[in-house]
A and B are shown apart, each in its own frame.
Chain A
Amino acid sequence: MKSRLDGFILIGLGISLLLALFLSPYASTSPDGLEKVAETKGFSEKGESWKHAPLPDYSIPWIKNKKVSTALSGLIGTIAIFFIVLGIGRLIKKNRSKKILLLILLSYFISLALTLTSAFAARPLTTDDAGTVEKGVFQLELGFDGIRQDNHGRELSPSLILSYGLLEQMDLGIGSGYLFFHPKEGKKENGFADTELKLKYRLIDEKDWRPAFAITGPLKIPTANESKGLGSGEADFGINAIATKNLSKRLALHLNLGYTFIGEDHVDNALNYSLASQFILSDKWALVGEIVGVNNMNRRHGDDPLSGLIGTYYLITDKIIWDAGLEIGMNKAAPDFRFTTGLTLLFKP
């Protein structure tokens, strides 16, 4: 049975390669449906394609003969597609589905970085940026999160974070939320979440090749009810290093590395890391993406959550920003899905 399938694959691949090699040079060069509509309705000049494609318009730039150029680029593309799909298919089969998606997203963001020549990160990212709230300005972040755990338990949580710019390079934030916890089995619980107090200090501004660098000291105050299982009932504190680098006018990267001392007994301290990218689409829209991971300081790897988020934000005005994001857990320790949406309000004169 297996050999017969191999035969089918070979024949199918053979037919595809023959089509690409011998028929593609003789394909019609007339504009396709959309191009034709764009021409007749007068918006074709608006269109542009990516200028860095290695084989633009199905041709190999240094081969003069058009037919040979098209045929060879078709051949390369067909073979490349076969192996790319084979590779991705193998990965999917190995139950690494979420990692692939992330890989695809990451390569998308990297390719965006290649195409283009200042950004600030905040909601919906978990990753922090090196920027601080301007001196004397209040910033209010309203958030609403929906989480589905791997065991299909659900959590809904509205949250509120207030930050204030103490100095040019320092801000202080305080935030908390309210949790509605719906386990798959067992009793529904709700109550206040833990409160976090966070001081951020920007040590170095970005200059030339050097990224901006900041540190934060988050402190968790155990306001969540321990007996309801909403919190640990103990205080945690940590230290975070943040680097932000604007690669171009449109693209910024943020890297976080932190260590959290967990107050609860018998729970290991945690190393947390995340990498985020932020891509400005226009003066109103931006796309963001990140990978967030935590490494509990023990030898087990099964309890180290890893997840990826993609999202967007939109500047309704220069003082009101709407955002939304979808986080996908990449292993059992991370929640299955988290949807988050929120508003950031700036109060400045």
Chain B
Amino acid sequence: MHIPDGFLSHGINAATFIISAGACAYGVKRVNRNFGEREVPLMGVTAAFIFAAQMLNFPIAGGTSGHFLGAVFSSVLLGPWASLIIMTIVLVVQCLGFADGGLTAIGSNIFNMGIVGSLGGYSIFFILYTLFQKSRKGFFIALAISSWLSIVMGASAAAIELAISGTSPLKVALPAMAGIHAIIGIGEAIITATAVSLILKTRPDLVTSYVPPTLPSPSRGEGEGGGGKEVFHEKSS
């Protein structure tokens, strides 16, 4: 989904650059507010994982490939604003170091994958998780849907930018982009849910968005509440 130079008009690039820079400035301020000794290395390792995982293109139908984005993944771990910062740094490094995504399109790429992906994706996750009354099952359903949507929405934003730039009309670009990324998004949902469930099993305290279901008594907690039990022990130790 990394847009190269030449696809978008300068007007779009300038507008998204200013929006992205403003959002990052606010993001830095927000992150600053609740940042402790623990969060910095966590942010580093999350970014490193996202960068490595983004290299792993998996094949989908019709000679096309897709790769993990990690916007919802990092949002659920560290919060949407920290996720925006991570996505921004990853995108800038990919652009400057690896010629992946254009330099003039950097604002648009941060907008599509950071603002739409992280902030938009997390908003949807949060709404769904709340609707599911913060149950464990609801957490994973919300996670899968929001990470799928983060890809589809990001791709749709890219299609709209392409259309405004006059590169490809909206009625051509939007179905094509959303269509392909609806398939890639399934990969995103699977990877995100798997990775988060692994972290939840080993270090549930690191998934800041997860609210462990309150248990009636510490002795119970078999089956569905298995994860919750671990959480309980984590907190009491």
Contact = CB atoms under 8 A, between A and B. Distances in A.
B107 to A, nearest CB: 10
Given A37-B177, A41-B168, A326-B22, A31 B65 contact: yes
Contact of A34 (B2, B57, B96): B2
Contacts of B184: 32-33
A15 interface: yes
Interface stretch (A55-63, A147-155, A185-193, A221-229): A55-63
Contact of A41 (B5, B6, B172, B202): B172
B99 A50 contact: yes
A48 interface: yes
B131 interface: no
Interface string A50-88: 110111111000000000001001100111111111101
B102 A49 contact: yes
Interface stretch (B13-21, B117-125, B141-149, B225-233): B13-21
A24 B31 CA distance: 31
A24 B103 CA distance: 24
Interface in A275-304: 281-282, 284-285, 287
Contacts of A12: 45-46, 48-49
B47 A82 contact: yes
Interface in B13-56: 13-14, 17-18, 21-22, 24-25, 28-29, 31-32, 35-49, 51-53, 55-56
Contact of B14 (A36, A285, A328): A285
A16 interface: yes
Contact of A37 (B46, B180, B202): B180
B79 interface: no
B47 A81 contact: yes
B153 interface: no
Contacts of B11: 284-285, 314
A93 B89 contact: no
B37 to A, nearest CB: 8
Contacts of A38: 7
Contact of B102 (A2, A50, A97): A50
Contacts of A86: 40-41, 43-44
Contacts of B193: none
B25 A98 contact: yes
B218 interface: no
A140 B72 CA distance: 48
B80 interface: no
B18 to A, nearest CB: 7
Interface residues of A, number: 82
A117 interface: no
A279 to B, nearest CB: 10
Contact of A82 (B10, B31, B48): B48
A40 B173 CA distance: 10
B4 A78 contact: no
B52 A20 contact: yes
B47 A34 contact: no
Count chain A CB atoms within 10 A of each CB in B22, B66, B93, B103 and give the residue with the most.
B103
Interface string A209-224: 0000000000000000
Contacts of B13: 281
A150 to B, nearest CB: 13
B40 A93 contact: yes
B113 to A, nearest CB: 11
Interface in B176-219: 176-177, 180-181, 184, 202-203, 206
Count chain B CB atoms within 10 A of each CB in A8, A43, A88, A89 and give the residue with the most.
A89
Contacts of B85: 88, 92
A284 B14 CA distance: 11
Interface in A240-260: none
A85 B180 contact: no
A5 B206 CA distance: 9
Contacts of B132: none
A84 to B, nearest CB: 6
Contact of A33 (B6, B29, B64, B95): B64
Contacts of B56: 19, 23-24, 27
Contacts of B88: 104
A56 B98 contact: yes
A37 B176 contact: yes
Contacts of A84: 47, 89, 93
A54 B45 CA distance: 23
A310 B4 CA distance: 23
Count chain A CB atoms within 10 A of each CB in B17, B64, B167 and give the residue with the most.
B64
A79 B93 CA distance: 12
Which 3 A-B pairs give the minimum distances between C-beta atoms?
A89-B40, A47-B4, A53-B99
13 contacts: A15-B49, A20-B51, A28-B58, A29-B57, A38-B7, A55-B99, A81-B44, A86-B40, A86-B44, A89-B39, A92-B31, A101-B28, A115-B103
